[in-house]
């Protein structure tokens, strides 16, 4: 569907819209100290979000809306009319560093603001990672109470490339409180040497040193495939963007608060743990499907090579075709996880029209495709 098929939900001036959003934000913060929320919210005020409304009685409305805030489980926006609870909504939310994320949810709140203006609250069916939409060093997470933050229990090892001794000591102190084992080096040469002898669940790289983002590039070239968290005190528009382009999965601004750091690390280690697991087909125990699953995995290998070659050649149509192949076939052979990750990759490509801006989703897809296995976990143990 083209942009011509969408209409502005509110035909008001930019100044009036800004005033309304500010008023709603100010009102929501009254008594905020006494409010406990399941997840923090961020200000997410955009005026060009494409959104589709699926009315319960039939019919679909396509609008360009103004959003107000965002949490991992929901979003609010302004609309020129009443919407019933449980009305389904779909939208593509722009990410901080390019690309977009397709979301799907249902209306759980509609309140009149003034005139025809209503604020709509939507509960999302799938959780979001807020760090895709905001730099926590620049924008505080509303309702994120550091005093009540529970230190997560994390198991694993993290390679920490930090040149400044004082910063390294503080980082190690925070990470050890979770049970995570940080291994600190101060130079890229030492990091590369260590990676040849030891495996890690993630890496944390300070990109404010003389080498800037070169360590990230070098580590990936040497075969490091786990998540990389970049730390920087520079502007999000410069050094942070460079770090993400180089291959970091997340970027965190200094000075960071402990709760944000540990939440990010916990999330990334969790992904890394999942990334080390073999994935077996849900149909592998079916004798009639077992051979077909084995044959399908050969196809997956061929598609994986095509995907890598297409990414290297910058052929976005071929990259999208490979992702679409996974999306359409994987669930039928008992790998629904791969279909879902492929769907997200296709969405990212369609939203950004850029391979570079979709690399996070593409790397996740390639990693998962490489972990598919024939047989069953029980057969592997017996073998």
Q: Please indicate, yes or no, if residue 137 is contained in any of the structural domains.
A: no
| The predicted structure's pLDDT at residue 221 | 80
Indicate if 51 and 167 belong to the same structural domain. Answer: no
Q: Tell me which residue range forms the domain holding 353.
A: 279-382
Indicate if 256 and 339 belong to the same structural domain. Answer: no
End-to-end CA distance of the chain: 51
Indicate if 296 and 211 belong to the same structural domain. Answer: no
Mean pLDDT of 252-274: 74
CB 64 within 8 Å of CB 7: yes
Out of 132, 164, 183, pick the residue that ends a domain: 132
| The predicted structure's pLDDT at residue 16 | 87
Out of 230, 250, 275, pick the residue that ends a domain: 275
| The predicted structure's pLDDT at residue 347 | 86
Q: Please indicate, yes or no, if residue 63 is contained in any of the structural domains.
A: yes
pLDDT at 342 over 90: no
Buried/exposed code over 341-367 (b: 16+ C-beta within 10 A; e: otherwise): bbbbbbbbbebbeebebbbbbbbbbbb
Q: What is the domain count for the chain?
A: 3
Indicate if 79 and 167 belong to the same structural domain. Answer: no
pLDDT at 337 over 60: yes
| The predicted structure's pLDDT at residue 30 | 46
DSSP label at residue 179? T
Mean pLDDT of 312-318: 93
Q: Please indicate, yes or no, if residue 141 is contained in any of the structural domains.
A: no
Q: Which long-range contacts (CB under 8 A, 24 or more apart) does 230-236 make?
A: 230/205, 230/206, 231/162, 231/171, 231/204, 231/205, 231/206, 231/207, 231/256, 232/206, 232/207, 232/208, 233/208, 234/207, 234/208, 236/96, 236/135, 236/137, 236/138
| The predicted structure's pLDDT at residue 381 | 54
State pLDDT tens for residues 204-244: 999 987 778 899 988 888 777 778 899 988 765 577 778 87
- In the chain, what percentage of residues exceed pLDDT 70? 85
State pLDDT tens for residues 52-95: 999 888 889 999 999 998 888 899 999 998 999 999 999 988 88
In sequence order, what DSSP letters do the residues of 314-346 get, joined into one string? T-HHHHHHHHHHHHHHGGGGT-HHHHHHHHHHH
Q: Which residues on adjacent β-strands are paired with residue 79?
A: 118
State pLDDT tens for residues 131-147: 777 655 444 444 444 44
The tokens describing 318, both together, are: 């071929």
Whether the model pTM is above 0.75: no
> If you average pLDDT over every residue of the chain, what do you get?
81
Indicate if 259 and 180 belong to the same structural domain. Answer: yes
Q: Which helix (H) or strand (E) holds 306?
A: helix 287-313
pLDDT at 377 over 70: no
82: three-class secondary structure by DSSP: coil
Q: Please indicate, yes or no, if residue 163 is contained in any of the structural domains.
A: yes
């Amino acid at each position: 569907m083209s942009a011509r098929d969408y209409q502005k939900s509110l035909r008001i001036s930019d100044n009036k819209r800004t005033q309304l959003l500010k008023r709603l934000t100010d009102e929501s913060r009254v008594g905020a100290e006494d409010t406990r929320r399941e997840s923090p919210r961020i200000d997410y005020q955009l005026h060009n979000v494409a959104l589709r409304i699926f009315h319960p009685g039939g019919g679909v409305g396509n609008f360009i809306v103004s959003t107000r805030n965002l949490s991992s489980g929901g979003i609010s926006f302004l609309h020129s009319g009443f919407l019933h609870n449980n009305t389904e909504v779909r939208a593509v939310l722009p990410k901080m560093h390019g690309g977009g994320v397709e979301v799907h949810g249902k209306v759980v709140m509609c309140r009149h603001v003034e005139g025809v203006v209503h604020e709509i609250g939507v509960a999302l069916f799938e959780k979001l990672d807020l760090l895709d939409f905001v730099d926590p060093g620049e924008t505080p997470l509303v309702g994120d109470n550091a005093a009540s933050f529970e230190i997560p229990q994390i198991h694993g090892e993290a390679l920490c490339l930090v040149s400044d001794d004082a910063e390294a000591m503080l980082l190690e102190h925070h990470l050890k409180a979770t049970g995570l084992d940080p291994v600190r080096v101060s130079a890229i040469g030492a990091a590369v040497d260590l990676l040849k002898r030891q495996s890690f669940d993630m890496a944390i790289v300070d990109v404010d040193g003389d080498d800037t983002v070169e360590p990230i590039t070098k580590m990936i070239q040497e075969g490091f495939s786990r998540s990389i968290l970049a730390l920087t005190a520079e502007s999000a528009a410069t050094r942070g963007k460079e770090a993400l382009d180089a291959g970091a999965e997340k970027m965190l601004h200094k000075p960071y608060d402990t709760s944000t750091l540990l939440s990010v690390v916990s999330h990334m280690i969790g992904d890394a743990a999942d990334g080390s697991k073999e994935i077996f087909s849900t149909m592998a125990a079916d004798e009639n499907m077992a051979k077909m699953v084995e044959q399908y995995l050969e196809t997956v290998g061929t598609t994986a090579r095509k995907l890598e070659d297409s990414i290297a050649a910058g052929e976005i149509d071929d990259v999208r075709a490979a992702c679409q192949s996974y999306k359409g076939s994987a669930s039928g052979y008992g790998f629904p996880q791969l279909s879902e990750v492929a769907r997200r990759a296709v969405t990212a490509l369609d939203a950004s029209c850029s391979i570079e801006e979709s690399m996070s989703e593409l790397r996740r897809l390639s990693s998962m495709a490489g972990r598919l296995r024939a047989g069953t976990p029980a057969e592997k143990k017996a073998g």
